Amino acid sequence: MSSTLFRTKKVEQSILDTEEPEHALRKSLSALDLTVFGVGVIIGTGIFVLTGTVAKNNAGPAVALAFVAAGVACALAALCYAEFASTVPVAGSAYTFAYASLGELPAWIIGWDLVLEFALGTAVVAVGWSGYIQSLMDNAGWELPAALGSREGADGFGFDILAAALVLVLTAILVIGMKLSARITSVVVAIKVAVVLTVIIAGAFFIEGKNYDPFIPKAQAVEAGDSLQAPLIQLMFGWAPSNFGVMGIFTAASVVFFAFIGFDVVATAAEETRNPQRDMPRGILGSLIICTTLYVLVSIVVTGMQNYSRLSVDAPLADAFKETGHPWFAGFISFGAAVGLTTVCMILLLGQTRVFFAMSRDGLLPRFFSHVHPRFKTPHRPTILLGVIIAIVAGFTPLTELAALVNIGTLFAFVVVAIGVIILRRTRPDLHRSFRTPWVPVIPILSVCASLWLMINLPAETWLRFAVWMAAGFVVYFLYGRSHSRLARRRGETAPGDAAPPQGRDA
């Protein structure tokens, strides 16, 4: 039984499957497109909110160092993603990488995990975008009916019409084609980056040196908690992280790390890249470097404009400009955040549909969803299905508490990819690798350790919900995926109790 659960799919077979006419995606993306995708999904509300919030609560002006530390942790994972994405240029990201190195069951687990991660991420971002748009509408004197506004705290029926509409529009764009998606993303990202740079340059004129003193505030101990809201590490060892001081920088890094989540989505577009061996590493690492630089600069500006202890939690950057007598920047920042969230939502939706498509093409999900559109060459069936489901979820469900599941899902994927690099180096040293992660196995091991550290700092409640979703995934795999796997059919494998798979074109 274990041999069927950990059967691996050869890299050559994965690449060969991408050449089947009915299941082949159009290759239209360049290194610039991939970099834009990465910047588009990483830069969201975090750059306008998280920078000041973490400075006030965890690190003071040293939050800039926290962003550097988080960027280094992401870079460790990015190096592993870059090797895999250039070696196995197939849709599916960590799912495909796990199938080639760890086996079918681990691949299914990570694929199931990514479906949840990207779905919730898309829905949460859509709801956040709706909030910004409604705020801008209020400033203009327009107001939506209460039943069509935010579902959060709604009395009676409530449906977030703007969040649902955004997801449906982006679904249509993704169905029409990747190149159109890339062009729209490029325009929106250019606007978003221009807003961020304007804020950085304008804010630099209001910096006062006294606000950086002390740069690393005196350490403050945090009392350990014992509820499910407490980090898992507290419940396991009774250890609570400290705020401020040198250790406070690392506490802050575990928080701001989640502002970087998204660069891994770039790897899901490997199959649609014209020259993935060259362009995937450039897109993944380039977008991470750009975003880390912007995050550091914004954090330096906001803590220089206003003393960290007086920063607001809800809108620190906007309120810092109000403090200096420039309130109109608040609306400008809200505009930048709303525009930016559009691309975040679209690229997360893109990532989910590609993972779903890859799992379908392998037979672990119904093969009906692995056929591409005859004209647009996009996976239109899973895109439409998932787009409609996420639109409904975004419209009806308050997602505040579920957002943390996005974080644990991403970190879990990082661990799997790092381990996969080590294993594939040993099992397939003959593979051509246009990009090689340096210092293997040191870099992958450091990546695993950094990801696990951040995971155990998440609330125990998040771990519990994650375990429930994974348990559901095991049920689906053993009832459907295991017996319908195309890899099993090719090898003539059927596990005890499995029905013999039908033969035909899809076998």
Q: What is the DSSP letter of 10?
A: P
Amino acid 400: pLDDT: 54
Structure confidence at residue 490 (pLDDT) = 77
Residue 401: predicted pLDDT: 53
Q: Please give the helix or strand (H or E) that residue 276 lies within, else none.
A: helix 276-305
Phi, psi values for residue 281, rounded to 5°: -60, -40
At 488 the pLDDT is 82
φ, ψ for residue 459, nearest 5 deg: -60, 145
- Residue among 10, 110, 90, 6 nearest 490 (CA): 10
pLDDT of residue 428: 92
Q: Longest C-alpha distance within the chain, in Å?
A: 74
Domain spans of the chain? 2-482
Closest CA to 76 of 261, 254, 285, 239: 285
Average confidence (pLDDT) per 10 residues, the chain, 507 residues: 79 89 86 91 78 88 94 93 92 91 94 88 85 77 74 63 94 87 87 89 93 92 72 80 86 82 83 92 94 94 93 78 80 80 89 93 94 91 95 77 69 93 94 93 96 86 90 95 88 50 39
Domain over 2-482 is classified CATH 1.20.1740.10: yes
What does the angle CA 414 – CA 419 – CA 425 come to, to the nearest 5 degrees? Answer: 130
CA dist 198 and 269 (Å) reads: 31
What number of CA atoms fall less than 13 Å from residue 330's CA on the CB side? Answer: 18
CA distances from 105 to 26, 341, 365, 476 (A): 29, 34, 13, 11
Q: Which phi and psi (to 5°) does residue 225 adopt?
A: -105, 165
CA distance 122 to 389: 11
What distance in Å separates the CA atoms of residue 124 and residue 118, rounded to the nearest whole number? 10
The strand pairing partners of 220, in sequence order, are 243
Q: At what angle do helices 63-87 and 442-456 cross, to 10 degrees?
A: 130
